């Protein structure tokens, strides 16, 4: 099947993928634009997984002070090269993350960073709440697991909904940025300060 340059250009504008990747996606999906977008998204995730092992020794430390100077965030995000660290898209992404942390109050970057005693305490609290309601054990376990997942979505930055686009998580936003920027990016650490806390 012959793929027109206009279709390739259209797909590139929609996805931000490279010209050859767009052409290959359209060829693989017989010119179906929606299937081509899905094809690229699947390939993008594979590319992200390949990049995940690369070292990230460059990056930036971003400071964000909320108007009124009662709230501030310090955030370190790493990438592979200083070229990307100076890139506008990368810097804009890091600023968005700093504002996310200020607004959504995560405790840690990812769930593995939560101390086990914190997770155990939350579990204990949820179990106590469910027992108070008189739920049977097999149902109580499912309710506690659901409440724990909700807790992770609030406490872990990577699992939070992005404040500028609630339809995607920070993990999905990071995956997109790794795909479009073309380097491994790691959200290393952050500190959130709020006056009086």
Q: Tell me the domains of the chain and their CATH numbers.
A: 5-51 (1.10.8.10), 58-109+156-194 (3.30.479.20), 115-155 (1.10.286.20)
Q: Which residues contact 107 (CB under 8 A, 6 or more apart)?
A: 114, 155, 156
The pLDDT score that the predictor gives to residue 88 is 93
Q: Where residue 10 falls among pLDDT bands split at 50, 70, 90? A: confident
- pLDDT tens string 21-35: 788 888 888 888 888
Give pLDDT tens digits for 108-154.
999 999 999 999 999 888 888 888 887 777 788 888 889 999 999 99
The more confident residue out of 80 and 2 is 80
d(CA 11, CA 23): 9
- Least confident range of 41-45, 65-69, 76-80, 159-163: 41-45
- Percent of the chain exceeding pLDDT 90 equals 47
């Amino acid at each position: 099947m012959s793929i027109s340059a206009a279709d390739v250009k259209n797909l590139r504008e929609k996805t931000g993928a490279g010209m050859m990747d767009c052409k290959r996606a359209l060829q693989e999906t017989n010119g179906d634009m929606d299937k081509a977008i899905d094809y690229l998204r699947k390939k993008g995730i594979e590319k992200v997984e390949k990049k995940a092992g690369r070292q990230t020794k460059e990056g930036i430390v971003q400071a964000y002070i909320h108007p009124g100077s009662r709230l501030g965030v310090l955030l370190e995000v790493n990438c592979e090269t200083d070229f990307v660290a100076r890139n506008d898209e990368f810097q804009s992404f890091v600023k968005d993350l700093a504002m996310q942390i200020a607004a959504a109050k995560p405790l840690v970057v990812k769930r593995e960073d939560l101390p086990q005693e914190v997770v155990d305490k939350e579990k204990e609290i949820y179990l106590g709440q469910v027992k108070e309601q008189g739920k049977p054990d097999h149902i109580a376990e499912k309710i506690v697991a659901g409440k724990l997942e909700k807790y992770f979505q609030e406490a872990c930055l990577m699992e939070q909904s992005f404040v500028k686009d609630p339809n995607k998580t920070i993990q999905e936003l990071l995956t997109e940025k790794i795909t479009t920027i073309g380097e491994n990016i790691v959200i290393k650490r952050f500190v959130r300060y709020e006056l009086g806390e």
